[in-house]
Amino acid sequence: MTNNAVNSNPFNLRVIEEFRRNEGRVGGPFAGRNLLLLTTRGARSGLLRTTPLVYLPHDGQLIVFASNGGSPTAPGWYHNLVAVPEATVEVGTERHAVRARFLEGPQAEEAWTLQIAVDPSFADFRERAARGGREVPVVALERTAG
C-alpha cells in the first residue's frame, strides 16, 4: 500500500499531515497519546484510505478499538479490515504491513481493561456504543513480512 491514500475528513487530514511532518507526534486532542496511521483498502471503493487512530501497544501488537467515538455504527476503517484484513500502519517514522486479527472474549476484555487504564475516555465510548446497541470491536494489528 502506498502513501497515495485518501481521507475526506478535514480534521483527519490535518492530523495525518501533522503526524507525517513531525515523525508521528501531534498536538491537540492526540497530544501525548499513542497514535498510528492505518491505511486500509476501501471495502466498496477499492481506494486506499488512511485514518489516524489511538492504539494500545500490547505483546508486540498494535491494538485498536472500533469505537467511532461511541457512535451506533462502526467506523469505515473497521468495515474495510473485515473485507480486506491486510493493511499498512505508520507509527512514528516506521511504516509496515499488518494483518488484522479480531479479538473476542477474554482477549478483548483484557485489551479494554488496559486501554481504559491508559485513557479513561474509552470507557465512555464503549458505554455510548452499548447504549446504541453496538459492541465495539477490538482489533489487533499484527506485523507481517509484506
Q: What's residue 2's pLDDT?
A: 46
Determine contact, residues 88/125, Cβ cutoff 8 Å: no
Residue partners of 127: CB distance under 8 A and separation at least 6: 70
Determine contact, residues 67/126, Cβ cutoff 8 Å: yes
- pLDDT mean by block of 10 residues, the chain; 146 residues: 66 94 92 95 93 95 95 94 97 97 97 96 95 95 88
Q: Could you tell me which residues are beta bridge partners of residue 84?
A: none
- The residue length of the chain stands at 146
Coil/strand/helix, residue 65:
strand
